[in-house]
Chain A
Amino acid sequence: MKKIIIAVVTSLLAFLLCSCEKTDSYEIKNRYIVQGIGIDKAQDGGLTVSFQLINTDAASVSSAQDSPEKPTKCYSVYASSVSQAVSLLSNDLGKRLLLNQNRILIFGRSFAQDGIGRVLDEFLRNTESRFTVLCAVSDKTASEIIFAQLGKNIVPAVQCEKMLSAGDAYTVETELYQAVNCIYDGRRDFALPLLSLSRNEEAEKINCTGTVLFYGDRAVGTVSRSTSFGINLLLKKQSSGIIDVKVENSTVSYEIVITKPEIICVNTEGKPTFELRLKARLKITEISTEKGAADNVPSLEALSAAAEDALKSSIEKSVTECIIKVSGDTLGLADIYNKTAKSKARIDNKYLKSFDTKITVKISIVNSGDFSANLYGGRKYEQF
């Protein structure tokens, strides 16, 4: 009985004490939900941190249809660190920021070129922040993307997140902790998608226009989406997307169903040779024959061969442009060499300027759509 009394009294006292002090109970009504953060370089070595906050009145499902308000509220703060920026904004707004719903972290181009490593610690050290947030680089400034007005009921950060996490082979998808791993490990480099804002009369639109390659924590080069396509196929466990290939007189659209990439170092004596293997299953979604050409669609074998060649050349071009010219070891070739090399000598990726590659692509077409008659010989129509 005594035990119970002591326990109850102690607990009551403790809770009473709790109520006299500031607690960690920040109720949901007293917080602003951060959806996106943008970081730009400011003068004097500081940072301009932009925040995209949810306007809950407009963003809730129940009120989304009728609310005339914009779905987001955006603010920019000048500070020396991200933590300070968060604190300043919280003070200004009178409500604490909720960082664990942050969807996207955007770096301004010039900031990325200087190195993003110095701001990443806040997102790892703070237990409230997510380190699974998607990262991207803005074509100009990060605040431009954060402050974008995409239209009624569209939250830019949500839009960006959906775009980047769609699994499309033309868009690289890198989460913060993956970037941190690359920076601190030094075993490989990472790439981030390049976002650009375009404007028309009605609304603005955010597009992924390329890929920014990093060496360490600095952005060292930018390539177009089509150029980074090959690298993405080898990077991602599972890619998707459409590729168009000209085959004979037709333009064939293939949809990537399943991909299985593999990179092996086959020669570790002297100049390394890397075998870049890709197995893919494709689906034919469209065959458009040129006007005036004979109505003979290519055969299945020709289509497979054409797809293989297209993917091979994409990969080759990608590796040349992204790794050799730019010196970003996005595929982790040096690490693969170091893992498999028998000798104890290790190579750093900056020495990976020249290496041989052997690219192997195996394609199987799993589905040619409902309209399959043309694949097995077409009908000829008389021309008028």
Chain B
Amino acid sequence: MKNKISPVQAYSLLFISRIVSTLTFVPPDLDAVGSDYVAAALIAPPLVLAASIMWLHLMSDGRTLIIRKVFFRNPKAEKSVRFIAVLYLLLVFTRNLSGLCVFAMSVLFEKVNAVVLLTVTAAAVIFVALSGIEAIARLGFFGSVATLLSLAFIVFSLTGRFDANNLQPLFLNGASKPVLLSLTVLSGTIEPFLLFLMRREVNDKIKKGFVWWWAAVFSVQILLTLCLYLGLGNVALRMFFPYHAMAELSRLSIARRMDSLLSTVWVLASFIKCALCLHLADNELKKISLGSSRVLTSVFTAVAFLISLLALNNIGVYRFVNNPNINAALNLPVILIVPIILNAVVKINLKREK
């Protein structure tokens, strides 16, 4: 099989990745209310759009060549840059793997051995990640369809529980908290960076479909945020997994507590995101090729496994790994500063060449 995927498949993967980030969102300690989160969900899209466009701009062949020329001047520099990317992917992978297992242990299984759960999950992730980008992309496509349908069903079954009194006017308590929250959303949107790493595996029409992805993701985010606060109210902000709690409200005829359905979707989406991160890390490690890339990938997975195990056994470690402030501090440079620098470098070089 040719090792290129279509833009639809690539954006399906990114859609799932974004949905996972939304569903696993833990409210930061800002003493904000529901309407602040809704306002943030409205402010964040243009910020993400701007950041994404900067990354998209870099994906044309000419610009990538310039970046390689400037930053990959010698093999050591190239390996260093790729290694930093691998470390970042390790963090993302660890966060998602530990998040998935913490969710499973909090909501589904409380007594299961963390080692066992992690082993089984990691084994399945490795199997999928090493199957190749095409398999992951197709799985992502099916996953995104299943996720959309499930979320639509849950939202539909929630409509009878909405209470407009739960919402307050937007910006009632000022704009500072919504802005801070929107930066939190932006810092969680690492998808443009993942797309940049994936660009060689997507066929030439990579920019096609970007607007659809952006629109779909933020429509779903805004809808879910609205449903969360219309349904649950501010008590959602006191839940560890607010969206899981939202699904508990849903009711349609004899079917109650769609949280089982949401849990399934959550596990599916997290699993695909973990597999994608591991696959991208594997690609970068192959290019570094210090030794056998499979050995490196195993080491990578083992490190993530150990950190996740620590996080599962100690809620403090988990909170540290998933601390929104730390995540923002690490992610914002990657999402905002790096593309600005790279675009500036490219522009300067293009001017020089002229």
Contacts and interface: CB of A to CB of B under 8 A. Distances in A.
B83 to A, nearest CB: 25
Interface residues of B, number: 35
A118 interface: no
B249 A23 contact: no
Contact of B106 (A6, A10, A127, A178): A127
B113 to A, nearest CB: 6
B39 to A, nearest CB: 14
B168 to A, nearest CB: 6
Contacts of A180: 235
Interface in A1-38: 3-4, 6-7, 10-11, 13-15, 17-18, 21-24
* Interface residue SS majority, chain A: helix
A323 to B, nearest CB: 16
* Interface residue SS majority, chain B: helix
Contacts of A181: 166, 232-235
Interface in B234-261: 234-235, 238-239, 244-245, 248-249, 251, 257
A6 B120 CA distance: 11
A298 interface: no
A184 interface: yes
B235 A7 contact: no
Choose among B106, B119, B172, B233 the residue with the greatest number of A CB atoms under 10 Å from its CB. Answer: B233
B127 interface: yes
B110 A3 contact: no
Contact of B239 (A18, A124, A338): A124
Contact of B165 (A7, A13, A332): A332
B50 to A, nearest CB: 32
Nearest to A177: B235
Choose among B127, B166, B235 the residue with the greatest number of A CB atoms under 10 Å from its CB. Answer: B235
Contacts of B124: 7, 11
Given A23-B112, A24-B112, A132 B249 contact: yes
A14 B233 contact: no
B235 A11 contact: no
A157 B40 CA distance: 42
A100 interface: yes
B248 A339 contact: no
Contacts of B126: 3, 7
A265 B115 CA distance: 58
Contacts of B120: 10-11, 14-15
A109 interface: no
Contacts of A100: 257
Contacts of B115: 17
A130 B248 contact: yes
A148 B109 CA distance: 35
7 contacts: A17-B116, A22-B111, A124-B238, A132-B248, A178-B163, A184-B235, A237-B163
Given A6-B123, A11-B124, A21-B113, 10 more contacts: A3-B126, A18-B116, A22-B111, A23-B109, A124-B238, A177-B233, A181-B235, A184-B234, A237-B163, A339-B168
